[in-house]
Amino acid sequence: MRRGALRRAAGMALGVGLLFALSCSDTSIGRGPIVGEPAPGEPPIPVPTPGLNVVQLVNQSSVTLLLGAFGPTAVVPREGKWELPPGGWLTVDIPAAWRNSTTQGSHGPRFWARTGCRYDAASDIAQCETGDCGSRYDCSAAALAGVAPTTIGEFCFNCGYDFNYWDVSVVDGANLSVDIEPLPPYSATNPKSPGDTFWCVSPNSVSGADLRANCPSNFQLKRSDLSFFIQGDTDGVVACFSNCGKYEYPTAPAMDCDDSDPRCASWKQFCCQANDYQQKCAADAECTFGGTCWEGKCACRGFTVKPDCPPDVCTNQEPSAQPPYGLCSEPTCIGDDTVHEVFPRAYTWPNDPQTYDCDTTALRITFAPGNTSVPITDSGAIPSCSSLPPAYGYATANQLCSGTQNKVFAGARLAPANWDCSVMAATNGVLCRW
């Protein structure tokens, strides 16, 4: 993620995990005890191409998901598709070009699930309620990342000592729960830093939990908030914003914003955009926008709605790992303690110390682990325009668009608004097939 994901893998501020490993002068990898077999009933462990890594993408929800991938080069699952039915899995071989790619900033590899998609693979077109990537079916080929809010699995492959690093990011919000799991064989402890508490850790989220279920109303993204919501369909919460995501949706304020933008102060506080971070200080009062004086410098921090967050909920609270939490209150804030109740080992704010490392060559990403009782819109074929509710005025639109040649898809709008007669990619209307 662009605001601090995988900073341990990049050798940044925290004095834990990889930084312990990088202090070792011996650069050879010596394995410790090996963790071995998969649990019964799980998908088979994929065998990576020699010298490379492999990622298995698993769907434990009850609906079809359309997955997205983004990295330095395009990838295609072994199965040759991006739609993932309930109980299914896809397998992605990680190319050499994706090695240690977090050095490229926002081009760090990531995977995510798109929900509520209407798609046509042959035409490379899709319209999704969450995680959309420029209305393309194949995000990877288009080199487009998913639109927030969506839960992201982020990676740094073959980083320090050729270990793999990952995090689950909800810095902008979450659409589904996600886990990332190292698959055996791998060492039981970090061979370069036996005390590494970030070593091969999983899960990231609580099985069966869903942040949308207890998302404060001010932080909900509902289906009816989307321009292409079909009138008459069932409404519902499709995603829950984080603090940062709330104040930079749909676009972030300008870097030089002021009080004329009502989002400015909250954005600088929750998205870590204050310009005094890293400046020397002696007390919190010397730091702006809710920052704290940590280790002698102004620092961004997370915020909770309760004074104390249990260590099994807000994990990695050690003073060497992150500054102490600040307090905030609803409705202007969703507490990181609220988010961590569902995602105890995921990024909830831009510098949350939740990056994990392992010497495995195979990883599994599970979407909606344990399923969820909160409805998810199913994904499937693009509907016919004539099947839309009468309020869209199909007959009139069909007549007005009759002069458009070679049209295949349209963007339908409620009458009397004009339709997009021919759609090849994005539309603010309802994507449909003539």
Q: Please return the burial class of 19, using the count of CB atoms within 10 Å of its CB with bins 0-12, 13-18 and 19+.
A: middle
- What pLDDT, on a 0 to 100 scale, did the predictor assign at position 147? 95
Name the residue ranges covered by the structural domains of the chain: 18-242+330-367, 383-433
Residue type, 198: F
| pLDDT, tens digit (0-9, with 9 covering 90-100), for 16-50 | 333 323 322 233 334 445 665 656 668 999 999 99
Residues in the chain: 434
Residues 214-222: contacts with CB within 8 Å, 24+ apart? 214/338, 214/341, 214/342, 215/240, 215/241, 215/334, 216/330, 216/331, 216/334, 216/338, 217/331, 218/246, 218/330, 218/331, 218/332, 219/173, 219/246, 219/334, 221/130, 221/149, 221/173, 221/249
**Residue 260: other Cβ atoms inside 10 A:** 6
Please state, in angstroms and rounded to a whole number, the distance separating the CA atoms of residues 136 and 131: 11
Looking at the DSSP bridge assignments, the partners of residue 239 are 221
Q: Please return the burial class of 36, using the count of CB atoms within 10 Å of its CB with bins 0-12, 13-18 and 19+.
A: exposed
Please state, in angstroms and rounded to a whole number, the distance separating the CA atoms of residues 380 and 117: 6
Please state, in angstroms and rounded to a whole number, the distance separating the CA atoms of residues 426 and 227: 12
- What pLDDT, on a 0 to 100 scale, did the predictor assign at position 100? 84
Segment (H or E) for 19:
helix 18-22
Residues 6+ apart with CB under 8 A from 350: 1, 3, 4, 171, 244, 271, 272, 300
- Side-chain half-sphere of 146: how many Cα atoms within 13 Å? 35
Eight-class DSSP state of 286: G
Which mean pLDDT values do the consecutive 10-residue runs of the chain (434 residues) have? 41 31 31 57 90 97 98 96 98 94 63 98 98 97 96 95 96 98 96 95 97 97 97 96 96 94 95 95 96 97 96 94 94 95 97 96 98 98 98 97 96 96 95 98
> Options 2.60.110.10, 3.30.530.20, 3.40.50.720, 2.40.110.10; which CATH number does 18-242+330-367 get?
2.60.110.10
- What pLDDT, on a 0 to 100 scale, did the predictor assign at position 101? 57
Segment (H or E) for 186:
strand 186-187
- What pLDDT, on a 0 to 100 scale, did the predictor assign at position 40? 64
